[in-house]
Amino acid sequence: MKAHSSEIRKQLTPQMALEFLKEGNARFLRNLRINRNFLELVNDTAEGQSPFAAILSCSDSRTSVELIFDQGLGDIFSVRLAGNIASINAIASIEYACKVLGVKLIVYLGHTNCGAIKGACDKVTMGNLGALLDHIHPAVDLETETFDNRTSQNKKFVENVTHLNIQYQMQKTLDNSDILRGMIEEGKVGFVGAIYNLATGKVTFDKEDIIFDINHVFSHIPQDLSLPS
């Protein structure tokens, strides 16, 4: 399968783009990847790109989105930062992908056993890492189910924070990007939260983290979020 052309992409809806990713992960799980001619894809995409999805994922070496979703060169606009945080630079990159390149779907992809999430849970301050983890600390504070052992040693606590962090980063993007908020209002793009399981290879899309309507908001996430300075 060749990379999605600009003509094909124009016909896609956010819902269709989501199905492409679900189907790709299903192939990945069955080890039935599409046989692609990557040198041909290099030639096809040399003069331009037509990605159908932008994915904000963690920098973890085990979370390569092109592999996880069985996509080719030019199909995914990949933004990777530890903890899949929506920094100002990440948001700017996503704005470019949607407004200029015509991306239809934005995926906020967390993963199990995330080192950045664990670091935020343990309030790590090593070097410049502390500044990065400032983007995740609000998600730790939003976790109100756990009263004891609020550290990385508590797997359930880490799982809860991982999910809340995805929602927090999605809401933070909406609150800091008039471009993306407007595109959702117009039905041109969708937001989706998902978690990749490092042990199984499966990506889980939670229905409550799928936003195709701007009226869908996370009531437990503070509104008008400002980015950490």
In a domain, 202, yes or no: yes
Cα–Cα distance between 180 and 151 in angstroms, integer? 34
Domain count, the chain: 1
In a domain, 137, yes or no: no
What's the chain's average pLDDT?
A: 90
In a domain, 104, yes or no: yes
In a domain, 227, yes or no: no
Of 186, 149, 187, 142, give the one whose Cα is nearest residue 168.
142
Tokens of 38: 């990557």
Q: What is the pLDDT of residues 69-92, one digit of tens each?
A: 999 888 999 999 999 999 999 999
In a domain, 21, yes or no: yes
The pLDDT of residue 217 is 67
Q: In terms of residue numbers, what domain contains 52?
A: 6-114+164-211
- Indicate whether 1 pLDDT > 50: no
Instruction: Give 15 or 218, the one with higher predicted confidence.
Output: 15
In a domain, 41, yes or no: yes
Q: What is the pLDDT of residues 87-119, one digit of tens each?
A: 999 999 999 999 999 999 999 999 999 999 999
In a domain, 99, yes or no: yes
In a domain, 229, yes or no: no
Enter the pTM of the model: 0.91
Residues 209/193, Cβ–Cβ less than 8 Å: yes
What's the CATH code of the domain at 24? 3.40.1050.10
- Indicate whether 212 pLDDT > 70: yes
State the DSSP string of the chain.
Answer: -PPPPHHHHHH--HHHHHHHHHHHHHHHHTT------HHHHHHHHTT----SEEEEE---TT--HHHHTT--TTTEEEEE-TT----HHHHHHHHHHHHTT---EEEEEEETT-HHHHHHHTT---TTHHHHHTTTHHHHHH--S--S--STT-HHHHHHHHHHHHHHHHHHHHHH-HHHHHHHHTTS-EEEEEEE-TTT--EEEEEEEEESSTT---TTSPSSPPPP-
